[in-house]
Amino acid sequence: MNTTLITILIIVVLLFILYYVPILLLFVARLSGVKINLLTLTFMRFRNVPPALIVKSLIEFNKAGLKSIDRKVLEAHYLAGGNIENLVHGIIIANKAGRTLTVEKACKDDLAGIDLTEAFNEVKHAGDDEVI
C-alpha cells in the first residue's frame, strides 16, 4: 500500500513539473533560433501568460526575418488584453509590403480594437499609408 501511494505521488509530482516546466517548448524554440531560457518559460505560466503563444509568435517573427521582438513586450501586450497573433501578423504583413509599423504603434492599434491584418490589407488596396 505504501509503495502504491508513493508511486502515485511521484507520478502526480512529475506531471505537475512537466506542466509548469515546458521542456519541449524550449526545445522547439531553440531549434527555431529563438533564444529563451527554461526559467523564463516556467515563470510565464505563473504569470498566466501562455508560453506556447509567446514562443510561436517569436518563431514567426524570427522566420519572417525581422529583428527579434522583445518577449517582454509580447507578455505585457497579452496581459493588457491584446491579441498577440494580430500584433505579430500585422507587423509581418506591413514589413513584407515595405511599410514601417513599429511595435509600439501596432500594440496601440491592437489594444484599440483594430484588426491590423485587415487594416493593412485595406491600406494595401487603397494605397493610403495613413490608415495605420
Indicate the pLDDT class of residue 130, thresholds 50, 70 and 90: low
Question: Rg of the chain over CA atoms, in angstroms?
Answer: 19
Q: Could you tell me the three cell numbers for 76?
A: 505585457
54-70 residue pLDDT tens: 999 999 999 988 877 89
pLDDT value at residue 118: 84
CA-CA distance, 48 to 35, in Å (whole number)? Answer: 21
**Domain residue spans in the chain?**
2-126
Q: Is 101 helix (H, G, I), strand (E, B) or coil?
A: coil
What's the pLDDT at 49? 94
Nearest by Cα to 21 from 49, 48, 47, 44 = 44
Answer with the residue of higher pLDDT: 17 or 80: 80
